[in-house]
Amino acid sequence: MKEKKSSEDDPTIEFQDYLDESQLDAVMQLVTKDLSEPYSIDDGKPIGCVVCKIDQEEAIQNGEQRMMKTGYIGMLAVQSSYRRRGIGKSLVRKVLERMKAMKCESVMLETEMSNVTAQKLYQRSFGFIREEKLVRYYLNWGDAYRLRLWF
């Protein structure tokens, strides 16, 4: 079977770190889902983004309290005309590698129960597990799953 090429090997796609606020407009447009105008890959504008953070959480281990680093993926979006090319997977892979390198013990996120695509991406491609069902989690009263990956 021919191995599927990763979007990281595609020379037309550049992965950029967050640098400053000048990128925020583009990020907001991506996560607002319905873009008024499609972006072209040639003009250098972002076609996908992942927004995440690292928190310190208290944990009890063997009766002792300790701090534990937990990664959190807040948003992931790829412009619709560029989906199914592995870009979402590459973005997630990159943040997981960094979170692991920064000594996170796990990574979590919430996804709408109806968002089968996101669940497939996180569960099948990376091994996230369903940790909790969150009833009426979103402002639109949609239910969510909390997914977690333990390193």
Ligand X SMILES: CC(C)(COP(=O)(O)OP(=O)(O)OC[C@H]1O[C@@H](n2cnc3c(N)ncnc32)[C@H](O)[C@@H]1OP(=O)(O)O)[C@@H](O)C(=O)NCCC(=O)NCCS
Residues of the shown chain interacting with ligand X in the complex, contacts defined by CB under 6 A:
76-78, 83-89, 111, 115, 117-118, 120-121, 124-125
Nearer to ligand X, 66 or 80 (CB): 80
Whether the CB-CB separation of 46 and 30 falls below 8 Å is answered with yes
Structure tokens at 4: 């599927």
Nearer to ligand X, 59 or 132 (CB): 132
- Residue number with the smallest Cβ distance to ligand X: 88
| Cα–Cα distance for residue pair 121/29, rounded to 1 Å | 22
The one-letter amino acid code at 90 reads: S
- Smallest gap, in angstroms, from Cβ of residue 66 to ligand X? 29
- Smallest gap, in angstroms, from Cβ of residue 26 to ligand X? 14
- Smallest gap, in angstroms, from Cβ of residue 103 to ligand X? 24
| Cα–Cα distance for residue pair 115/93, rounded to 1 Å | 19
Nearer to ligand X, 76 or 149 (CB): 76
Pairing of strands 64-78, 106-112: parallel
| Cα–Cα distance for residue pair 73/149, rounded to 1 Å | 11
- Smallest gap, in angstroms, from Cβ of residue 16 to ligand X? 16
Q: Give the H/E segment covering residue 100.
A: helix 87-101
- Smallest gap, in angstroms, from Cβ of residue 128 to ligand X? 11
Nearer to ligand X, 2 or 124 (CB): 124
| Cα–Cα distance for residue pair 120/26, rounded to 1 Å | 26
3-class SS at 149? Answer: strand
